[in-house]
Structure 1
Amino acid sequence: MKKMASIVVAILLSIMPINIAFANNNSTINISSKSAILMDVGSGQILYEKNIHEKLPPASVTKVMTMLLVVEALDSGKIKLNDNVQITGNASGMGGSQIFLEPGEAQTVDTLLKGIAVASANDACVAMAEYIAGSVEDFVGMMNTKAKELGMKDTNFVNTNGLPVENHYTSAYDIAIMSKELLKHDTINKYLTTWMDKVVVGKKQVTVGLANTNKMVKHYQGTTGVKTGFTQQAKYCLSASAKRGDTHLVAVTLGAQTSPERFKDASSLLNFGFANYESIKLCSKDDNVATLTLDKAEENKINLVAKDDLTVLIKKGSSKDFVKKIKVYDNPNLPLKGGTKLGQVEVYKDKKLIGKVDLVNTKDINKASYIQMLQRVIDSML
């Protein structure tokens, strides 16, 4: 259907230093958790690792994927925050952490998402799964499909909330990947960073106070999320993200023996990252980056924008040149929906790819009419 255009724009950015030779020196940080990772959200670079592909029970950190599917449904317009969700007996019967939903009541997506993100509500997870997919089983199928799309090879989900069940597992690396993906969605930011709130639930309209299970929201500078978890089998788990300037990092710790240990480990990882690395933003989401010429389209000049922010991570104090290449597809088949990938920006150092972002069209592209094509032929002759 598509092939890459033969003309590639290569720009030497000598004024923009970068060094990708990261010192992944695990001995500089003392981590007590069974498994841990520190990842740059922008580039995906791994700055620290300890047993990152070990398959472990994630407890409620599972809800990172649940929230990701909810915000994707919101951003696509499939659901809205003010939609009313009918609560089933299945949802209200979930044990563990909950907001005490009752069968037969209706709650908004906004309330349920708040319950999941702030209070780690198992009942709200099931309610949203049933609303989006029709059943928990189908929603779990969506979770596993999304995991495969993201390249999460150490993961198998069996439920939406992380309650103990056989064959439900993931890894620190996979959690970092899905956390990174969740953090791309602006919709979720206010929920992940809410410290305290309340919801009104039940047929008697009872007010339930919510306190964020992620204590770093209050106690760590620049915290942006993400999610805690605990079961007797999984022990204390955490995906914690923070942003300072353009540098956005996520630290995942699994299998800590105590709750303070997981927060201490995550803080140590984030401190290490912010002390030693910084991100350089090359372009922002929705920036116009390239123009695609399509002779057979209604509008033959198509603006291509960055699908996400493009950042590269450098070690503080380092300075080296890198090359940015802009590639666009040649003669894609028409028509095309808005948001279709039609190119890519790639950043290289010593011929090694260190960062990339997709280029997409902002609106639908339709075929030109016969009259338009004839007029273009006439114009070219004149």
Structure 2
Amino acid sequence: MKKFISFLLALFIAITQVSIIFADTEEAKLDIVSKSAVLMDASTGKILYEKNSHEKLPPASVTKVMTMLLICEALESGKIKEDDDVQISETAASMGGSQIFLEPGEIQKVDTLLKSIAVASANDACVAMAEYVGGSVEEFVVLMNKRAKELGMNDTNFVNTNGLPVDNHYTSAYDIALMSKELLRHKKISKYLTTWMDEVVVGKKQAKIGISNTNKLVKHYTGATGVKTGFTQQAKYCLSASALRNNT
């Protein structure tokens, strides 16, 4: 009984301390061990917390936030359509890392490729869509950097569409928040950012491949709405996460 009472007292003290800490947000202290972080209100752009938020770092697959943004904007402008056929090139099919194992010469719909990027972080789908939207990967990267400047992403330089390790490819936590905020405006992609599991049909043999979201918060965090994970040996673990609670 004494142990039980002691436990309740300790629990009460802990809850009281937490209440005091968060009663005044000005005094709330977060101990974030990552090199860089930022917390932004997506509706206003107000920064609620930051740590080295403008430090230029490799973003790994979080790069794909910009890739998805340009695809969504091309869809909304009518430049491309969801049911457009995209022929997969040798270059796209040769991508390593996360992929859906596209084969050279096969045809895929824009919708399938976009879903594969958002859910499965597919590098091959990124390259296929970059070639389709931009005419080439190089031209698509030019569009990525142009859009970054328009959004005020002054800490960013993109060299590829998927975040695979390459020199001079970097962004910051602040810039990731800016492009993530912009991406979340598109209802089309929001559906896929919150998809936990799905499947795609790929290859000349039309094989069904199951895909699951690399962002485990979608399943385990109440209100999670996205956005993108990333990992390379150079970048380590990277995350753009969003959630909606009480209209915030």
State the match for 2:166 in structure 1.
165
Q: Distance in 1 between matches of 2:25 and 2:74?
A: 39
Q: Does residue 98 of structure 2 align to residue 97 of structure 1? A: yes
Q: Distance in 2 between matches of 1:208 and 1:226?
A: 22
State the match for 1:219 in structure 2.
220
State the match for 1:32 in structure 2.
33
1:233 to partner: Cα distance: 0.6
1:136-169: CA deviations, max 9, x gaps?
0000000000000000000000000000000000
Q: Is the 8 A contact 1:154 1:174 kept in 2?
A: yes
State the match for 1:188 in structure 2.
189
State the match for 1:52 in structure 2.
53
1:42 to partner: Cα distance: 0.4
The residue type paired with residue 231 of structure 1 is: T
1:338-364: CA deviations, max 9, x gaps?
xxxxxxxxxxxxxxxxxxxxxxxxxxx
Q: Indicate how the Cα distance of structure 1 residues 139 and 29 shifts in structure 2: closer, same or farther if over 3 A, else same.
A: same
1:268-320: CA deviations, max 9, x gaps?
xxxxxxxxxxxxxxxxxxxxxxxxxxxxxxxxxxxxxxxxxxxxxxxxxxxxx
What 5-or-longer segments of structure 1 have no aligned partner?
1-21, 248-382
State the match for 1:258 in structure 2.
none
State the match for 1:5 in structure 2.
none
Q: Is the 8 A contact 1:24 1:48 kept in 2?
A: no
Q: Distance in 1 between matches of 2:157 and 2:90?
A: 26
Q: Is the 8 A contact 1:158 1:168 kept in 2?
A: yes
Q: What is the TM-score normalised by the length of structure 1?
A: 0.58
Q: Distance in 2 between matches of 1:94 and 1:202?
A: 15
Where do 1:5-44 residues align within 5 Å? 23=25, 25=27, 28-44=29-45
- Larger-Rg structure: 1
Q: Distance in 2 between matches of 1:24 and 1:73?
A: 41
Q: How many residues align?
A: 225
1:209-255: CA deviations, max 9, x gaps?
101000000000111100000000100000000001320xxxxxxxx
Identical aligned pairs, as a percentage? 76
What 5-or-longer segments of structure 2 have no aligned partner?
1-23
Q: Does residue 239 of structure 2 align to residue 238 of structure 1? A: yes
DSSP-derived class of the 1:207 partner: strand
Q: Is the 8 A contact 1:23 1:47 kept in 2?
A: no
Where do 1:56-205 residues align within 5 Å? 56-205=57-206
DSSP-derived class of the 1:244 partner: coil
Q: Indicate how the Cα distance of structure 1 residues 88 and 24 shifts in structure 2: closer, same or farther if over 3 A, else same.
A: farther
Greater fraction of residues in helix: 2
Greater fraction of residues in strand: 1
1:183 to partner: Cα distance: 0.4
DSSP-derived class of the 1:28 partner: coil
Q: Indicate how the Cα distance of structure 1 residues 44 and 24 shifts in structure 2: closer, same or farther if over 3 A, else same.
A: farther
DSSP-derived class of the 2:32 partner: coil
DSSP-derived class of the 1:209 partner: strand
Q: Is the 8 A contact 1:24 1:47 kept in 2?
A: no
Q: Distance in 2 between matches of 1:109 and 1:226?
A: 20
The residue type paired with residue 112 of structure 2 is: T
Q: What is the TM-score normalised by the length of structure 2?
A: 0.89
Q: Distance in 2 between matches of 1:96 and 1:24?
A: 42
1:24 to partner: Cα distance: 5.3
Q: Indicate how the Cα distance of structure 1 residues 24 and 106 shifts in structure 2: closer, same or farther if over 3 A, else same.
A: farther
1:32 to partner: Cα distance: 1.2
State the match for 1:305 in structure 2.
none
User: 4+ runs of 1 displaced by more than 3 Å?
Assistant: 22-25
State the match for 2:209 in structure 1.
208
State the match for 2:230 in structure 1.
229
1:71 to partner: Cα distance: 0.3
Q: Distance in 2 between matches of 1:24 and 1:46?
A: 13
